[in-house]
Amino acid sequence: MLVGLIVNPIAGMGGRVGLKGTDGEAYREALRRGARPVAPGRTLRFLEAWLAAGSGAELVVAPGAMGSDYASRIVPGGFKVVGTLRGPETTAEDTRRIAGEMADMGVGLIVFVGGDGTARDVASAVDAEVPVLGVPSGVKMYSSVFAVNPEAAARIAAAFARGEAGLRDAEVLDIDEEAYRRGELRIRLYGYVKTPYLEGLVQAGKEPSSGIGDEEENKEAVARFFLEHLYEPCTLYILGPGTTVKAVADALGVEKTLLGVDAVHSGVLVGRDLDERGILKLLDAYPRAKLVVTPIGGQGFLFGRGNHQISPQVIRRVGRGNIVVVATRHKMRGIRVLRVDTGDPALDEELKGYIRVLVDYGEIRMVKIV
């Protein structure tokens, strides 16, 4: 089997600097804020695991920063280069064109490194004719075409190449990034692709909050219990994205950035829509701190999906024992286990194990991070 690899080298750069994506002008803004590339490291992790998996497949890659730069470091001489780049900076058109060329040459699977925007570009080029698998590297990854991390993607791709993994239909979802930057979450279904599947290694698509009356009451009950029994004065609370965390902020009497990361100390909002650097500065000023986060609906991710500002350095500074997880009963019905994909494999291992999840007033469940 021929397996194609296409890398979006700028995917995910906006996350740690507090942007909600890296499309269009957001890429320039990410550079101005000092953002560093994410996709190269994720690609190298995939290729190392791919080589170790022994797929027996032949790897074909996009040129330069879209593939061959990384393959030459991990599998020298063990790949072919497909296509050309039209300029010094890669574009979505490069992704679509090279994916189409790979499809025309008969690849059995296209693996891409990127986020939902890259998934849309690849899917539009192959039109469900070629199976597609995503290595997560974007700011937000709501589509169900992604593996849970780069190593899982390598295992799935290798198993598929050996005939040991089947296919399933996967949603290609994306959001309106301009609306997202304004704090509005608008998710759209762009279509379906065939994706190789191994149980526990492919993420589900994001489930939006239902917004029904019972769930809103549930959020308020969670927030009330947090305020009455878990809240500690003189502590910095770093509040992640999400409607359940917003309910906590409402109970604390502060205005929450729904899709951003904010910080509260002694009832005062001390940071709004923070990036990684801003959070670390606050941790210098207020060393006693806790993180309040909620998992992504349907996926179960606590870190690594839409909250990259809460970086490995931030998590290590706060400590696992100071992570407070809140969620509604409705959300947790669709989540069997919790996941993390921080970008630091060692930290991901440290975070594994059971953690308390506050799901209602006085109701705490023990859920495993895998």
CATH code at 106? 3.40.50.10330
In a domain, 271, yes or no: yes
* Residue 187: pLDDT over 90: no
User: What pLDDT shows up at residue 362?
Assistant: 96
One domain, residues 188 and 267: no
One domain, residues 222 and 325: yes
User: What pLDDT shows up at residue 114?
Assistant: 97
Tell me which of 10-19, 24-33, 59-68, 88-97 is least confident: 24-33
Confidence of residue 183 (pLDDT cuts 50, 70, 90): low
Domain count, the chain: 2
Among 168, 197, 226, residue at a domain's last position: 197
User: What pLDDT shows up at residue 51?
Assistant: 94
User: What pLDDT shows up at residue 181?
Assistant: 61
More confident residue, 77 or 225: 225
User: What pLDDT shows up at residue 236?
Assistant: 98
The residue range of the domain holding 327 is: 213-369
Name the burial class of residue 108, with classes exposed (0-12), middle (13-18) and buried (19+) by CB atoms within 10 angstroms of its CB: middle
Confidence of residue 209 (pLDDT cuts 50, 70, 90): low
In a domain, 169, yes or no: yes
User: What pLDDT shows up at residue 112?
Assistant: 98
* Residue 227: pLDDT over 80: yes
One domain, residues 221 and 149: no
One domain, residues 320 and 242: yes
One domain, residues 112 and 232: no
The pLDDT tens digits of the residues spanning 86-142 come to 998 999 999 999 999 999 999 999 999 999 999 999 999 998 889 999 999 998 889
3-state secondary structure the chain: CEEEEEECCCCCCCCCCCCCCCCCHHHHHHHHCCCCCCHHHHHHHHHHHHHHHCCCCEEEEECHHHEHHHHHHHCCCCEEECCCCCCCCCCHHHHHHHHHHHHHCCCCEEEEEECHHHHHHHHHHHCCCCCEEEEECCCCCCCCCEECCHHHHHHHHHHHHCCCCEEEEEEEEEECHHHHHCCCCCEEEEEEEEEEECCCCECCCCCCCCCCHHHHHHHHHHHHHHHHHHCCCCCEEEECCCHHHHHHHHHHCCCCCCCCCEEEECCEEEECCCCHHHHHHHHHHCCCEEEEECCCCCCCEEECCCCCCCCHHHHHHHCHHHEEEECCHHHHHCCCCEEECCCCHHHHHHHCEEEEEEEECCEEEEEEEC
Tell me which of 1-10, 197-206, 211-220, 255-264 is least confident: 211-220
User: What pLDDT shows up at residue 91?
Assistant: 94
Among 140, 168, 197, residue at a domain's last position: 197
* Residue 359: pLDDT over 90: yes
* Residue 368: pLDDT over 80: yes
One domain, residues 113 and 229: no
One domain, residues 219 and 363: yes
* Residue 42: pLDDT over 80: yes
One domain, residues 275 and 314: yes
Question: What percent of the chain shows pLDDT beyond 90?
Answer: 82
* Residue 210: pLDDT over 70: no
Among 142, 170, 197, residue at a domain's last position: 197
298 and 335 in contact (C-beta within 8 Å)?
A: yes
Query: What average pLDDT does range 196-219 have in this prediction?
Result: 86
* Residue 191: pLDDT over 70: yes
Tell me which of 75-84, 183-192, 241-250, 283-292 is least confident: 183-192
* Residue 217: pLDDT over 90: yes
The pLDDT tens digits of the residues spanning 308-336 come to 999 999 999 999 999 999 999 999 999 99
